[in-house]
Chain A
Protein backbone atom coordinates (compact mmCIF):
# COMPACT_ATOMS: atom_id res chain seq x y z
CA UNK A 1 0.00 0.00 0.00
CA UNK A 2 1.24 3.48 -0.80
CA UNK A 3 -0.50 6.74 0.03
CA UNK A 4 -0.74 9.45 -2.63
CA UNK A 5 -0.48 13.17 -1.98
CA UNK A 6 -4.23 13.78 -2.56
CA UNK A 7 -4.99 11.02 -0.04
CA UNK A 8 -2.76 12.67 2.57
CA UNK A 9 -4.44 16.00 1.89
CA UNK A 10 -7.87 14.39 2.28
CA UNK A 11 -6.91 12.82 5.65
CA UNK A 12 -5.51 16.16 6.82
CA UNK A 13 -8.82 17.78 5.94
CA UNK A 14 -10.72 15.07 7.86
CA UNK A 15 -8.40 15.63 10.85
CA UNK A 16 -8.76 19.45 10.59
CA UNK A 17 -5.02 19.97 10.22
CA UNK A 18 -3.73 22.59 7.82
CA UNK A 19 -0.74 21.22 5.87
CA UNK A 20 1.07 23.10 3.12
CA UNK A 21 2.31 21.22 0.05
CA UNK A 22 5.80 20.52 1.42
CA UNK A 23 4.47 19.32 4.79
CA UNK A 24 1.99 17.04 3.04
CA UNK A 25 4.79 15.51 0.94
CA UNK A 26 6.96 14.87 4.03
CA UNK A 27 3.93 13.40 5.81
CA UNK A 28 3.24 11.16 2.81
CA UNK A 29 6.76 9.67 2.90
CA UNK A 30 6.72 9.16 6.67
CA UNK A 31 3.23 7.67 6.71
CA UNK A 32 4.23 5.23 3.98
CA UNK A 33 7.18 4.15 6.12
CA UNK A 34 4.89 3.61 9.09
CA UNK A 35 2.28 1.77 7.01
CA UNK A 36 4.96 -0.58 5.69
CA UNK A 37 5.54 -1.51 9.36
CA UNK A 38 1.79 -1.93 9.92
CA UNK A 39 1.34 -4.08 6.81
CA UNK A 40 2.77 -7.11 8.68
CA UNK A 41 -0.72 -7.41 10.20
CA UNK A 42 -2.40 -8.08 6.90
CA UNK A 43 -0.87 -11.54 6.42
CA UNK A 44 -2.47 -12.85 9.62
CA UNK A 45 -5.63 -14.91 9.40
CA UNK A 46 -7.91 -13.60 12.14
CA UNK A 47 -11.16 -15.20 10.98
CA UNK A 48 -13.37 -15.96 13.96
CA UNK A 49 -11.33 -13.87 16.42
CA UNK A 50 -13.39 -11.39 18.44
CA UNK A 51 -11.89 -7.90 18.32
CA UNK A 52 -10.54 -6.79 21.70
CA UNK A 53 -11.41 -3.19 22.53
CA UNK A 54 -10.39 -3.29 26.18
CA UNK A 55 -8.16 -5.40 28.37
CA UNK A 56 -10.88 -6.27 30.87
CA UNK A 57 -14.18 -7.61 29.63
CA UNK A 58 -16.38 -5.37 31.75
CA UNK A 59 -19.52 -3.59 30.67
CA UNK A 60 -20.14 0.12 30.96
CA UNK A 61 -21.30 1.24 34.38
CA UNK A 62 -24.61 3.04 34.40
CA UNK A 63 -25.87 5.73 36.73
CA UNK A 64 -29.19 7.46 37.27
CA UNK A 65 -29.90 10.18 34.72
CA UNK A 66 -30.04 13.02 37.23
CA UNK A 67 -28.20 16.30 37.69
CA UNK A 68 -25.19 15.71 39.95
CA UNK A 69 -23.60 19.18 39.86
CA UNK A 70 -25.23 22.53 40.43
CA UNK A 71 -23.67 25.86 39.52
CA UNK A 72 -26.32 28.44 40.38
CA UNK A 73 -23.90 31.34 40.77
CA UNK A 74 -21.90 30.43 37.63
CA UNK A 75 -18.62 30.09 39.55
CA UNK A 76 -17.74 26.72 38.06
CA UNK A 77 -18.63 27.95 34.60
CA UNK A 78 -16.35 30.94 35.07
CA UNK A 79 -13.53 28.72 36.29
CA UNK A 80 -13.83 26.43 33.28
CA UNK A 81 -14.15 29.34 30.86
CA UNK A 82 -11.12 31.10 32.31
CA UNK A 83 -8.98 28.82 30.10
CA UNK A 84 -10.98 29.48 26.91
CA UNK A 85 -9.44 31.63 24.15
CA UNK A 86 -12.57 33.82 23.71
CA UNK A 87 -15.74 34.07 25.80
CA UNK A 88 -18.43 36.65 26.40
CA UNK A 89 -21.32 36.60 28.89
CA UNK A 90 -20.71 32.92 29.64
CA UNK A 91 -20.63 31.93 25.96
CA UNK A 92 -17.76 30.63 23.84
CA UNK A 93 -17.10 32.86 20.85
CA UNK A 94 -16.39 31.31 17.44
CA UNK A 95 -16.66 32.61 13.86
CA UNK A 96 -20.22 32.91 12.57
CA UNK A 97 -21.52 29.51 11.38
CA UNK A 98 -25.07 30.38 10.25
CA UNK A 99 -25.57 33.49 8.14
Chain B
Protein backbone atom coordinates (compact mmCIF):
# COMPACT_ATOMS: atom_id res chain seq x y z
CA UNK B 1 0.00 0.00 0.00
CA UNK B 2 2.83 2.41 0.77
CA UNK B 3 4.02 2.14 -2.84
CA UNK B 4 0.61 3.09 -4.22
CA UNK B 5 0.01 6.29 -6.19
CA UNK B 6 -2.61 8.78 -5.04
CA UNK B 7 -4.90 7.53 -7.81
CA UNK B 8 -4.55 3.97 -6.53
CA UNK B 9 -5.10 5.06 -2.92
CA UNK B 10 -8.18 6.97 -4.06
CA UNK B 11 -9.55 3.86 -5.82
CA UNK B 12 -8.82 1.66 -2.77
CA UNK B 13 -10.66 4.10 -0.49
CA UNK B 14 -13.62 4.36 -2.88
CA UNK B 15 -13.86 0.56 -3.15
CA UNK B 16 -13.66 0.29 0.70
CA UNK B 17 -10.57 -1.92 0.41
CA UNK B 18 -9.08 0.26 3.10
CA UNK B 19 -10.46 3.03 5.29
CA UNK B 20 -8.86 6.43 5.76
CA UNK B 21 -8.38 5.60 9.46
CA UNK B 22 -6.47 2.42 8.55
CA UNK B 23 -4.37 4.24 5.96
CA UNK B 24 -3.64 7.09 8.36
CA UNK B 25 -2.62 4.65 11.12
CA UNK B 26 -0.34 2.84 8.64
CA UNK B 27 1.58 6.06 8.00
CA UNK B 28 1.52 7.18 11.66
CA UNK B 29 3.08 3.86 12.62
CA UNK B 30 5.82 4.37 10.00
CA UNK B 31 6.43 7.92 11.25
CA UNK B 32 6.78 6.68 14.82
CA UNK B 33 9.23 3.96 13.76
CA UNK B 34 11.28 5.73 11.09
CA UNK B 35 11.12 9.45 11.82
CA UNK B 36 13.64 9.44 14.73
CA UNK B 37 16.41 8.57 12.23
CA UNK B 38 15.21 11.06 9.58
CA UNK B 39 13.85 14.03 11.57
CA UNK B 40 11.41 14.84 8.77
CA UNK B 41 8.50 15.71 11.08
CA UNK B 42 8.59 18.53 13.63
CA UNK B 43 5.07 17.97 15.02
CA UNK B 44 2.88 14.86 14.94
CA UNK B 45 -0.53 14.63 16.62
CA UNK B 46 -1.93 11.15 16.02
CA UNK B 47 -5.27 11.93 17.67
CA UNK B 48 -5.89 14.90 15.41
CA UNK B 49 -4.92 12.92 12.30
CA UNK B 50 -7.14 9.95 13.18
CA UNK B 51 -10.05 12.29 13.97
CA UNK B 52 -9.66 13.89 10.52
CA UNK B 53 -9.51 10.42 8.95
CA UNK B 54 -12.81 9.49 10.66
CA UNK B 55 -14.45 12.56 9.13
CA UNK B 56 -13.01 11.58 5.73
CA UNK B 57 -14.40 8.04 6.08
CA UNK B 58 -17.83 9.51 6.89
CA UNK B 59 -17.59 11.70 3.77
CA UNK B 60 -16.74 8.70 1.62
CA UNK B 61 -19.61 6.70 3.16
CA UNK B 62 -22.00 9.59 2.49
CA UNK B 63 -20.93 9.81 -1.14
CA UNK B 64 -19.66 13.32 -0.55
CA UNK B 65 -15.99 12.76 -1.34
CA UNK B 66 -13.41 14.13 -3.80
CA UNK B 67 -10.64 12.05 -5.44
CA UNK B 68 -8.32 13.03 -2.57
CA UNK B 69 -10.67 12.49 0.38
CA UNK B 70 -9.13 10.29 3.05
CA UNK B 71 -5.61 10.35 1.60
CA UNK B 72 -2.99 11.40 4.16
CA UNK B 73 -0.32 14.01 3.48
CA UNK B 74 2.45 15.89 5.29
CA UNK B 75 2.17 19.67 5.58
CA UNK B 76 5.21 21.89 5.44
CA UNK B 77 5.48 23.72 8.77
CA UNK B 78 5.24 27.07 6.97
CA UNK B 79 1.44 26.77 6.64
CA UNK B 80 -0.67 27.99 9.55
CA UNK B 81 -2.98 25.13 10.54
CA UNK B 82 -5.52 25.95 13.22
CA UNK B 83 -4.72 24.23 16.49
CA UNK B 84 -1.41 22.88 15.21
CA UNK B 85 1.93 24.19 16.38
CA UNK B 86 3.35 26.07 13.39
CA UNK B 87 7.07 26.80 13.79
CA UNK B 88 8.37 27.68 10.30
CA UNK B 89 11.54 25.86 11.41
CA UNK B 90 12.34 28.69 13.84
CA UNK B 91 12.85 29.08 17.57
CA UNK B 92 10.91 32.33 17.10
CA UNK B 93 7.68 30.29 16.70
CA UNK B 94 8.54 27.35 18.99
CA UNK B 95 5.31 27.67 20.98
CA UNK B 96 3.10 29.27 18.31
CA UNK B 97 -0.24 27.47 17.90
CA UNK B 98 -1.81 28.84 14.72
CA UNK B 99 -5.17 30.49 15.46
CA UNK B 100 -6.34 30.14 11.83
CA UNK B 101 -5.91 28.01 8.71
CA UNK B 102 -3.90 28.92 5.62
CA UNK B 103 -5.97 28.74 2.42
CA UNK B 104 -3.81 25.80 1.23
CA UNK B 105 -4.75 23.94 4.43
CA UNK B 106 -8.46 24.75 3.94
CA UNK B 107 -8.36 23.59 0.32
CA UNK B 108 -6.44 20.36 0.90
CA UNK B 109 -8.00 19.32 4.22
CA UNK B 110 -11.47 20.83 4.58
CA UNK B 111 -12.41 21.06 0.90
CA UNK B 112 -10.61 18.05 -0.62
CA UNK B 113 -10.77 16.00 2.60
CA UNK B 114 -7.10 15.04 2.84
CA UNK B 115 -5.75 14.03 6.26
CA UNK B 116 -2.77 15.86 7.77
CA UNK B 117 -0.15 13.51 9.23
CA UNK B 118 1.59 16.47 10.83
CA UNK B 119 3.97 19.34 10.18
CA UNK B 120 7.26 18.68 8.42
CA UNK B 121 10.71 20.14 8.89
CA UNK B 122 12.14 22.94 6.77
CA UNK B 123 14.95 25.46 6.67
CA UNK B 124 14.22 28.30 9.10
CA UNK B 125 11.68 30.64 7.46
CA UNK B 126 12.37 28.70 4.23
CA UNK B 127 15.86 30.22 4.00
CA UNK B 128 18.19 27.45 2.95
CA UNK B 129 18.92 24.73 0.41
CA UNK B 130 19.83 21.84 2.73
CA UNK B 131 17.36 21.92 5.65
CA UNK B 132 20.36 22.50 7.93
CA UNK B 133 19.19 25.94 9.08
CA UNK B 134 16.16 24.46 10.92
CA UNK B 135 16.09 25.13 14.66
CA UNK B 136 14.64 21.61 14.96
CA UNK B 137 17.72 19.96 13.49
CA UNK B 138 18.88 18.75 10.10
CA UNK B 139 16.84 16.24 8.08
CA UNK B 140 18.46 13.10 6.69
CA UNK B 141 18.11 12.14 3.03
CA UNK B 142 16.45 8.69 2.89
CA UNK B 143 18.74 7.71 -0.02
CA UNK B 144 21.85 8.29 2.12
CA UNK B 145 21.42 9.45 5.69
CA UNK B 146 24.80 11.21 5.72
CA UNK B 147 23.47 13.60 3.06
CA UNK B 148 21.04 16.50 3.00
CA UNK B 149 17.54 16.18 1.51
CA UNK B 150 17.78 19.66 -0.01
CA UNK B 151 15.78 22.63 1.11
CA UNK B 152 13.90 24.48 2.12
CA UNK B 153 11.11 21.86 1.79
CA UNK B 154 13.55 19.16 2.98
CA UNK B 155 11.18 17.59 5.50
CA UNK B 156 8.45 17.37 2.85
CA UNK B 157 10.79 15.58 0.43
CA UNK B 158 12.35 13.25 3.02
CA UNK B 159 8.88 12.29 4.35
CA UNK B 160 7.62 11.32 0.89
CA UNK B 161 10.86 9.59 -0.18
CA UNK B 162 10.82 7.46 3.00
CA UNK B 163 7.08 6.72 2.58
CA UNK B 164 6.17 8.45 5.83
CA UNK B 165 3.51 10.17 3.70
CA UNK B 166 2.27 9.56 0.14
CA UNK B 167 2.57 13.28 -0.68
CA UNK B 168 3.45 16.61 0.92
CA UNK B 169 2.93 20.32 0.52
CA UNK B 170 5.92 22.54 -0.07
CA UNK B 171 6.79 26.12 -0.91
CA UNK B 172 9.28 27.46 -3.44
CA UNK B 173 10.86 30.92 -3.34
CA UNK B 174 14.08 30.14 -5.24
CA UNK B 175 13.89 26.37 -5.76
CA UNK B 176 12.63 25.09 -2.41
CA UNK B 177 10.22 22.54 -3.92
CA UNK B 178 12.22 21.55 -7.01
CA UNK B 179 15.69 21.15 -5.49
CA UNK B 180 14.62 18.86 -2.59
CA UNK B 181 12.41 16.89 -5.02
CA UNK B 182 15.51 16.42 -7.22
CA UNK B 183 17.76 15.43 -4.32
CA UNK B 184 15.20 12.91 -2.96
CA UNK B 185 14.09 11.30 -6.27
CA UNK B 186 10.62 12.90 -6.32
CA UNK B 187 8.36 14.99 -8.52
CA UNK B 188 7.64 18.52 -7.28
CA UNK B 189 5.96 21.50 -8.88
CA UNK B 190 6.08 25.26 -8.34
CA UNK B 191 3.07 26.91 -10.03
CA UNK B 192 2.90 30.23 -11.87
CA UNK B 193 3.12 33.06 -9.33
CA UNK B 194 -0.40 33.91 -8.15
CA UNK B 195 -2.03 30.53 -8.90
CA UNK B 196 -1.93 29.19 -5.32
CA UNK B 197 -2.96 31.44 -2.43
CA UNK B 198 -0.26 32.68 -0.06
CA UNK B 199 -2.76 33.43 2.71
CA UNK B 200 -1.58 31.85 5.96
CA UNK B 201 1.71 30.75 4.41
CA UNK B 202 4.36 32.44 6.54
CA UNK B 203 5.95 35.01 4.24
CA UNK B 204 9.60 34.94 3.19
CA UNK B 205 9.82 36.91 -0.09
CA UNK B 206 6.27 37.77 -1.05
CA UNK B 207 6.82 38.49 -4.74
CA UNK B 208 8.50 35.07 -5.23
CA UNK B 209 6.83 32.65 -2.75
CA UNK B 210 4.53 29.99 -4.22
CA UNK B 211 3.18 26.78 -2.70
CA UNK B 212 3.00 23.51 -4.59
CA UNK B 213 2.97 19.71 -4.25
CA UNK B 214 5.76 17.17 -3.75
CA UNK B 215 4.86 13.56 -4.62
CA UNK B 216 6.13 10.59 -6.64
CA UNK B 217 4.73 11.39 -10.06
CA UNK B 218 3.42 14.12 -12.33
CA UNK B 219 0.01 12.47 -12.13
CA UNK B 220 -0.04 12.78 -8.32
CA UNK B 221 1.14 16.39 -8.56
CA UNK B 222 -1.64 17.18 -11.05
CA UNK B 223 -4.29 15.87 -8.62
CA UNK B 224 -2.82 17.85 -5.72
CA UNK B 225 -2.37 21.08 -7.68
CA UNK B 226 -5.99 20.91 -8.85
CA UNK B 227 -7.02 20.91 -5.18
CA UNK B 228 -4.54 23.61 -4.09
CA UNK B 229 -4.97 26.20 -6.84
CA UNK B 230 -7.61 28.87 -7.17
CA UNK B 231 -8.40 32.53 -6.64
CA UNK B 232 -8.41 33.74 -3.05
CA UNK B 233 -9.54 37.22 -2.12
CA UNK B 234 -7.46 36.99 1.05
CA UNK B 235 -4.22 37.06 -1.00
CA UNK B 236 -3.70 40.44 -2.68
CA UNK B 237 -1.60 38.88 -5.48
CA UNK B 238 -3.89 35.90 -6.10
CA UNK B 239 -5.01 35.81 -9.75
CA UNK B 240 -8.67 35.70 -10.75
CA UNK B 241 -8.76 32.76 -13.14
CA UNK B 242 -11.18 29.89 -13.78
CA UNK B 243 -10.58 26.62 -11.87
CA UNK B 244 -8.50 24.16 -13.84
CA UNK B 245 -8.20 20.39 -13.94
CA UNK B 246 -4.44 20.03 -14.18
CA UNK B 247 -4.73 16.34 -15.07
CA UNK B 248 -6.84 17.02 -18.16
CA UNK B 249 -4.04 16.63 -20.70
CA UNK B 250 -2.14 13.77 -19.07
CA UNK B 251 -1.60 11.05 -21.64
CA UNK B 252 -1.52 13.29 -24.68
CA UNK B 253 1.16 12.64 -27.30
CA UNK B 254 4.33 14.71 -27.33
CA UNK B 255 4.50 14.67 -31.16
CA UNK B 256 5.29 18.17 -32.34
CA UNK B 257 6.24 19.42 -28.86
CA UNK B 258 9.19 21.80 -28.98
CA UNK B 259 11.57 21.52 -26.04
CA UNK B 260 14.00 24.39 -25.54
CA UNK B 261 17.46 23.84 -24.09
CA UNK B 262 18.95 27.04 -22.67
CA UNK B 263 22.62 26.88 -23.61
CA UNK B 264 23.53 28.77 -20.42
CA UNK B 265 22.24 25.83 -18.33
CA UNK B 266 24.31 23.29 -20.26
CA UNK B 267 27.76 24.82 -19.77
CA UNK B 268 30.31 24.50 -16.98
CA UNK B 269 29.34 24.26 -13.34
CA UNK B 270 27.20 21.14 -13.58
CA UNK B 271 28.32 17.72 -12.36
CA UNK B 272 29.13 15.38 -15.29
CA UNK B 273 26.89 12.55 -14.08
CA UNK B 274 23.96 14.94 -13.66
CA UNK B 275 24.54 16.29 -17.17
CA UNK B 276 24.76 12.77 -18.65
CA UNK B 277 21.40 11.83 -17.09
CA UNK B 278 19.79 15.01 -18.39
CA UNK B 279 21.20 14.34 -21.90
CA UNK B 280 19.74 10.83 -21.75
CA UNK B 281 16.35 12.32 -20.82
CA UNK B 282 16.55 14.66 -23.83
CA UNK B 283 17.17 11.61 -26.04
CA UNK B 284 14.14 9.92 -24.47
CA UNK B 285 12.01 12.97 -25.28
CA UNK B 286 13.18 12.81 -28.91
CA UNK B 287 12.04 9.19 -29.01
CA UNK B 288 8.66 10.34 -27.69
CA UNK B 289 8.29 12.67 -30.66
CA UNK B 290 9.51 15.98 -29.27
CA UNK B 291 11.75 18.33 -31.21
CA UNK B 292 14.76 19.88 -29.47
CA UNK B 293 15.65 23.53 -30.08
CA UNK B 294 18.41 25.63 -28.57
CA UNK B 295 17.30 28.77 -26.77
CA UNK B 296 19.15 31.56 -25.00
CA UNK B 297 18.71 33.04 -21.53
CA UNK B 298 21.59 35.55 -21.75
CA UNK B 299 20.91 37.18 -18.37
CA UNK B 300 20.47 33.96 -16.40
CA UNK B 301 23.92 34.36 -14.78
CA UNK B 302 22.47 37.43 -13.04
CA UNK B 303 19.59 35.55 -11.43
CA UNK B 304 21.46 34.51 -8.27
CA UNK B 305 22.83 38.06 -7.65
CA UNK B 306 19.41 39.67 -8.28
CA UNK B 307 17.68 37.07 -6.11
CA UNK B 308 20.04 37.70 -3.17
CA UNK B 309 19.01 41.35 -3.23
CA UNK B 310 15.26 40.96 -3.81
CA UNK B 311 14.58 37.99 -1.52
CA UNK B 312 16.49 39.37 1.51
CA UNK B 313 14.95 42.83 0.98
CA UNK B 314 11.44 41.39 1.08
CA UNK B 315 12.41 39.07 3.95
CA UNK B 316 13.77 41.90 6.09
CA UNK B 317 10.47 43.71 5.62
CA UNK B 318 8.28 40.62 6.21
CA UNK B 319 10.21 39.46 9.26
CA UNK B 320 9.95 42.85 10.97
CA UNK B 321 6.58 41.55 12.25
CA UNK B 322 8.45 39.27 14.68
CA UNK B 323 8.86 41.81 17.44
CA UNK B 324 8.00 39.82 20.56
CA UNK B 325 4.71 41.69 21.00
CA UNK B 326 1.81 39.92 19.28
CA UNK B 327 3.24 36.42 18.84
CA UNK B 328 6.56 34.60 18.86
CA UNK B 329 9.54 34.61 21.15
CA UNK B 330 10.09 37.42 23.66
CA UNK B 331 13.39 37.67 25.57
CA UNK B 332 13.09 36.92 29.29
CA UNK B 333 15.02 40.03 30.27
CA UNK B 334 15.17 43.41 28.57
CA UNK B 335 15.31 47.12 29.23
CA UNK B 336 13.27 49.46 27.08
CA UNK B 337 11.05 48.63 24.08
CA UNK B 338 13.91 48.84 21.59
CA UNK B 339 16.02 46.53 23.74
CA UNK B 340 13.11 44.08 23.85
CA UNK B 341 12.94 44.03 20.04
CA UNK B 342 16.70 43.62 19.64
CA UNK B 343 17.05 40.84 22.21
CA UNK B 344 13.88 38.95 21.25
CA UNK B 345 14.90 38.92 17.56
CA UNK B 346 18.55 38.08 18.31
CA UNK B 347 17.43 35.08 20.39
CA UNK B 348 14.54 33.96 18.18
CA UNK B 349 16.26 33.98 14.76
CA UNK B 350 19.07 31.70 13.61
CA UNK B 351 22.26 32.71 11.78
CA UNK B 352 21.01 32.41 8.17
CA UNK B 353 17.84 34.38 8.89
CA UNK B 354 19.87 37.13 10.56
CA UNK B 355 22.26 37.25 7.59
CA UNK B 356 19.39 37.74 5.16
CA UNK B 357 17.69 40.36 7.34
CA UNK B 358 20.99 42.28 7.45
CA UNK B 359 21.46 42.07 3.66
CA UNK B 360 17.87 43.21 3.17
CA UNK B 361 18.11 46.09 5.61
CA UNK B 362 21.29 47.24 3.87
CA UNK B 363 20.03 47.13 0.27
CA UNK B 364 16.87 48.98 1.27
CA UNK B 365 18.67 51.61 3.33
CA UNK B 366 19.10 55.22 2.31
CA UNK B 367 21.66 55.70 -0.44
CA UNK B 368 21.76 52.04 -1.52
CA UNK B 369 18.18 51.46 -2.66
CA UNK B 370 18.74 52.48 -6.29
CA UNK B 371 22.07 50.72 -6.69
CA UNK B 372 20.86 47.42 -5.28
CA UNK B 373 17.11 47.01 -5.00
CA UNK B 374 16.02 48.89 -8.12
CA UNK B 375 18.91 47.49 -10.15
CA UNK B 376 17.89 43.96 -9.07
CA UNK B 377 14.29 44.63 -10.12
CA UNK B 378 15.47 45.86 -13.53
CA UNK B 379 17.55 42.72 -13.96
CA UNK B 380 14.50 40.73 -12.96
CA UNK B 381 12.70 42.30 -15.93
CA UNK B 382 15.59 41.35 -18.26
CA UNK B 383 15.42 37.75 -17.04
CA UNK B 384 11.64 37.61 -17.58
CA UNK B 385 12.12 39.10 -21.07
CA UNK B 386 14.68 36.39 -21.90
CA UNK B 387 12.12 33.71 -21.05
CA UNK B 388 9.47 35.47 -23.16
CA UNK B 389 11.84 35.39 -26.16
CA UNK B 390 12.71 31.74 -25.52
CA UNK B 391 9.04 30.73 -25.38
CA UNK B 392 8.58 32.15 -28.90
CA UNK B 393 10.71 29.22 -30.06
CA UNK B 394 9.61 26.41 -27.77
CA UNK B 395 6.71 25.08 -25.67
CA UNK B 396 8.67 24.01 -22.61
CA UNK B 397 12.24 24.54 -21.38
CA UNK B 398 14.36 21.70 -20.03
CA UNK B 399 17.48 21.78 -17.83
CA UNK B 400 19.04 20.08 -14.81
CA UNK B 401 17.25 21.00 -11.55
CA UNK B 402 20.39 21.19 -9.42
CA UNK B 403 24.06 21.16 -10.45
CA UNK B 404 24.82 18.23 -8.12
CA UNK B 405 23.12 15.31 -6.42
CA UNK B 406 22.57 15.41 -2.64
CA UNK B 407 25.64 16.75 -0.86
CA UNK B 408 26.99 15.71 2.55
CA UNK B 409 25.57 17.16 5.76
CA UNK B 410 27.84 20.03 6.79
CA UNK B 411 29.60 20.23 3.40
CA UNK B 412 28.29 23.67 2.47
CA UNK B 413 26.86 24.83 5.80
CA UNK B 414 29.81 27.11 6.62
CA UNK B 415 29.87 28.90 3.25
CA UNK B 416 26.64 30.76 2.41
CA UNK B 417 27.77 31.60 -1.14
CA UNK B 418 28.42 27.93 -2.04
CA UNK B 419 25.01 27.03 -0.62
CA UNK B 420 23.32 29.77 -2.66
CA UNK B 421 24.81 28.41 -5.90
CA UNK B 422 22.94 25.14 -5.34
CA UNK B 423 19.90 26.94 -6.82
CA UNK B 424 21.47 28.39 -10.01
CA UNK B 425 19.00 26.63 -12.34
CA UNK B 426 15.85 27.23 -10.32
CA UNK B 427 16.01 30.87 -9.16
CA UNK B 428 15.41 32.51 -12.56
CA UNK B 429 12.03 30.73 -12.71
CA UNK B 430 10.86 32.42 -9.49
CA UNK B 431 12.14 35.82 -10.61
CA UNK B 432 10.12 35.51 -13.83
CA UNK B 433 7.12 34.02 -11.95
CA UNK B 434 6.93 31.02 -14.29
CA UNK B 435 5.82 27.48 -13.41
CA UNK B 436 8.59 24.92 -13.00
CA UNK B 437 8.92 21.34 -11.86
CA UNK B 438 11.49 18.68 -11.11
CA UNK B 439 11.20 15.00 -11.94
CA UNK B 440 13.61 12.10 -11.45
CA UNK B 441 15.75 11.23 -14.51
CA UNK B 442 18.36 8.81 -13.19
CA UNK B 443 20.96 8.09 -10.52
CA UNK B 444 24.64 8.80 -10.09
CA UNK B 445 27.21 6.09 -9.36
CA UNK B 446 26.62 6.48 -5.64
CA UNK B 447 22.94 5.66 -6.10
CA UNK B 448 21.75 9.23 -5.53
CA UNK B 449 18.78 10.54 -7.53
CA UNK B 450 19.18 13.14 -10.30
CA UNK B 451 16.48 15.69 -11.11
CA UNK B 452 15.32 17.10 -14.43
CA UNK B 453 13.74 20.55 -14.49
CA UNK B 454 10.90 21.52 -16.82
CA UNK B 455 9.91 25.18 -17.09
CA UNK B 456 6.56 26.11 -18.62
CA UNK B 457 5.21 29.37 -19.95
CA UNK B 458 2.78 31.28 -17.69
CA UNK B 459 -0.27 29.14 -16.74
CA UNK B 460 1.05 26.15 -18.72
CA UNK B 461 1.12 23.83 -15.68
CA UNK B 462 -1.17 21.29 -17.38
CA UNK B 463 0.98 20.91 -20.50
CA UNK B 464 4.16 20.88 -18.39
CA UNK B 465 2.66 18.06 -16.29
CA UNK B 466 1.68 16.19 -19.46
CA UNK B 467 5.27 16.55 -20.70
CA UNK B 468 6.53 15.08 -17.41
CA UNK B 469 3.87 12.35 -17.38
CA UNK B 470 4.79 11.10 -20.88
CA UNK B 471 8.42 10.72 -19.74
CA UNK B 472 7.32 8.89 -16.58
CA UNK B 473 5.18 6.49 -18.61
CA UNK B 474 8.23 5.68 -20.76
CA UNK B 475 10.82 5.42 -17.97
CA UNK B 476 10.66 4.10 -14.42
CA UNK B 477 12.91 6.50 -12.52
CA UNK B 478 10.05 7.93 -10.44
CA UNK B 479 9.16 4.45 -9.20
CA UNK B 480 12.54 3.76 -7.58
CA UNK B 481 12.55 3.75 -3.79
CA UNK B 482 15.49 3.96 -1.38
CA UNK B 483 16.56 0.76 0.42
CA UNK B 484 14.72 0.02 3.62
CA UNK B 485 11.53 1.73 2.47
Binds A, one of B119-127, B371-379, B449-457: B371-379
B337 at the binding interface (Cβ < 8 Å): yes
Across the interface, name the chain A residue whose C-beta is closest to B235: A61
A90 at the binding interface (Cβ < 8 Å): no
Contact between chains at B97 and A83 (CB < 8 Å)? yes
Across the interface, name the chain A residue whose C-beta is closest to B340: A95
Partner of A30, one of B308, B355, B371, B375: B355
Contact between chains at B379 and A16 (CB < 8 Å)? no
Contact between chains at A14 and B361 (CB < 8 Å)? yes
Binds A, one of B64-72, B107-115, B343-351: B343-351
Contact between chains at B237 and A54 (CB < 8 Å)? yes
Distance A15 CA – B315 CA, assembled complex (angstroms): 11
Known: A82-B99, A95-B334. A16 touches B323 (CB 8 A): yes
On chain B, the number of residues with a Cβ less than 8 Å from chain A's Cβ atoms is 72
Across the interface, name the chain B residue whose C-beta is closest to A28: B358
List B contacts of A96 (CB < 8 A). Answer: 336
Distance A15 CA – B309 CA, assembled complex (angstroms): 16
Contact between chains at B194 and A83 (CB < 8 Å)? no
A67 at the binding interface (Cβ < 8 Å): no
B381 at the binding interface (Cβ < 8 Å): yes
Q: How far is the CB of B374 from chain A (nearest CB, A)?
A: 5
List B contacts of A8 (CB < 8 A). Answer: 358
Q: How far is the CB of A33 from chain B (nearest CB, A)?
A: 5
Contact between chains at A54 and B207 (CB < 8 Å)? yes
Across the interface, name the chain A residue whose C-beta is closest to B338: A16
Known: A11-B362, A18-B342, A55-B433. A85 touches B330 (CB 8 A): yes
B283 at the binding interface (Cβ < 8 Å): no
Binds A, one of B179-187, B299-307, B437-445, B468-476: B299-307
List A contacts of B336 (CB < 8 A). Answer: 95-96
List B contacts of A15 (CB < 8 A). Answer: 316, 320, 345, 357-358, 360-361
Partner of A37, one of B194, B304, B342, B346: B304
A70 at the binding interface (Cβ < 8 Å): no
A51 at the binding interface (Cβ < 8 Å): yes
Distance A12 CA – B357 CA, assembled complex (angstroms): 9
Contact between chains at A55 and B193 (CB < 8 Å)? yes
List B contacts of A56 (CB < 8 A). Answer: 193-194, 237, 239, 433, 458
B384 at the binding interface (Cβ < 8 Å): yes
B382 at the binding interface (Cβ < 8 Å): yes
Contact between chains at B358 and A92 (CB < 8 Å)? no
Across the interface, name the chain B residue whose C-beta is closest to A41: B305
Known: A18-B345, A37-B305, A92-B325. A27 touches B417 (CB 8 A): no
8 Å CB interface, A21-67 against B: 27, 30-31, 33-42, 44, 46, 49-56, 58, 60-61, 63
Distance A84 CA – B371 CA, assembled complex (angstroms): 39
Across the interface, name the chain A residue whose C-beta is closest to B357: A15
List B contacts of A40 (CB < 8 A). Answer: 301-302, 305
List A contacts of B320 (CB < 8 A). Answer: 15-16
Distance A3 CA – B233 CA, assembled complex (angstroms): 43
List A contacts of B96 (CB < 8 A). Answer: 83
Contact between chains at A38 and B308 (CB < 8 Å)? yes
Contact between chains at A34 and B325 (CB < 8 Å)? no
Q: How far is the CB of B338 from chain A (nearest CB, A)?
A: 7
Please name the 10 residue pairs, one residue from A and one from B, whose CB atoms are nearest each other, closest first.
Answer: A55-B433, A51-B377, A85-B330, A46-B378, A18-B346, A52-B381, A18-B342, A55-B193, A15-B361, A16-B341
Which B residues have a C-beta under 8 Å from some C-beta of A?
A: 95-97, 99, 192-194, 207, 233, 236-237, 239, 299, 301-302, 304-306, 308-309, 316, 320, 323-330, 334-343, 345-346, 349, 354-355, 357-362, 365, 371-372, 374-382, 384, 415-417, 420, 432-434, 458
Interface contacts beyond A16-B345, A95-B337: sample of 14 additional A-B pairs, CB < 8 Å, sorted by A: A14-B365, A37-B304, A38-B305, A38-B309, A40-B305, A41-B309, A44-B375, A50-B378, A50-B381, A52-B380, A55-B384, A55-B433, A61-B233, A95-B336
